[in-house]
Structure 1
């Protein structure tokens, strides 16, 4: 299909619990740092879980003026910050550049959107006398598409613009949509990725009610422990990851730095349960096979999988069973790691920051570790290389990133070092 255009990555950005830029984030990943600590966003004393992976020392006024910042929920702020870094990294708005902004899109992911804004307005109403005194900025702050809208407005990008919302698969769905918009000629460049800021009373309380989160309050840094026998749930994270996807010839023509090529994306549904993964892993088998087929590669071509790996008792095992089914003997040659062991789970923002991790793993030929893996789960095949506790050097030519969401949404994206 000669009409299908090649797509490359020309910029990256991140604001995460490990650092507020992509290089700082990478240093945290490479060194195996945990981003978990006691919650500071609110008084969590009475909550079952009293810790999370917050963006450390975040101050809105470091990035936005006092007039503009309050008009955006924190998830949008994070999205704008990461996108600004990625746009600058790609040189999209460099002086003398010749970018057709009608051909630059913004396709973003967020699973929850402005939860903080929704909660604050409802709390304020409840504390009042019943008179509705809602902020005129309430709805624009709350809706999930405010992230893509603000990124577009700030930069004047007039191409395709929308947000995907598919729980924890949201960012990867956005990346796949961006990829396909470029492949099909609907845009030349797309700013994509995702963000989340759900460390709030309702976010923590809601996930606690689902019994989904770790309650290891005595040692937060060790709480996110994918594939460990003693894992007891995920750790909530926040932040954003952004990548610039660009048509290959367009990037070459403007002399852009190229990190790698995006070669495939897959989607599937478990069609099983609104919150629990299918324990057979059948939906995950399907999504990885779909991604490999789309990329036109074989399982043995993949070097590294950044797994969904949330540290939940059910989810980790199902994903590994699926990897064994898809990759067969080649699974033993893979490096597998869950960077959520360090960042926590950014929900709809996970795919964005994990795509950045894959891209940097290829650039540096270093696989970030799965930390806190001290007592391997006997129910999970220990012949596989989970990159336990310490980063490993290896040639990483092809990297896959998996994200799965409540509702049975499964996504997988594949990046490869550029082959001229």
Structure 2
């Protein structure tokens, strides 16, 4: 949820954020009105309860007719208190419903607009020009015996697959490389649950407008996660953290599940857009004043991983209308895919400021010992999709694929993956 102090003290910032996202800025006035109504209802109920308490003291001291009169007043006052509490609960529920629906306030430097209005921050590396007709990742993977889409569809349906033989080994090598880097950088490696309760999924901002993307098990009232960001965010829910020694950093290795609702007809070939994949995800709890610096750290660690797989990429500052509900700012790293002649997302890192932590009640103590809401951030360190960029960028004329040097120790020191 957004910080109410920002809403009350500088509502124009929230209005501007809503407009930049392409959302209704009228929600700000409605939320302010509900906030005032809610606070008024709380004050009215508190005053009546105080009056009721004082009357109770008087009744205890009274006798005879005076006591009977006070008891009659007490019954009337009890009814008024009950009505006031009903009003307080109603006003609170209406406020809460709207408050949780408002997305995070964007960083002032985020570009306005939609999916195509990003800002390119830099390019790294030069796309290779092949002296042969390059094959796409599916043709390469099938030639290597690394991927079986046909049987994946037979077993589970469209957008499912088997990673086979060297394909399974390549994914494990990639994720182990990511896990090794995360551990080296001081992250605690985690293998989290991939089923979470509704309050955790909602707390991270993945329900509401995004719930069509999420798989739900109604009989158990649990959700399959689309990223280990979700269970990691919930790991410290309802806790007060000691952040005096710096951020708490976790790296979650998990399978991830996405319905890909609304993506029919897009990226149907291969493993660019699928329902299940594996990922190593960085997640950070820190003091709000440290969040921006930590966001830069996450981006630098993502770029370090991309350098290890030796692919050309660019970094973009995602436009406001393409941000998730929880993100105040998001950087994407997009690798060059030769057969598509385009850059495609491999990583993203989001600064969610205090939005998620406020919903999940994750707090810390400041230097004066006061309880404050923490900030959360996340960033991708490797996913199954990276296989696409590795195969296409390092392919050879004979259908073999050169293994990036950093991956070789995790693949039996192979220099090439060869068909056959």
Structure with larger RCO (C-alpha < 8 A, sep 6+):
1
Q: What TM-score, normalized to structure 1?
A: 0.29
Indicate the structure (1 or 2) with the bigger Cα radius of gyration: 2
Q: Identify, as 1 or 2, the structure richer in helix.
A: 2
Q: What TM-score, normalized to structure 2?
A: 0.29
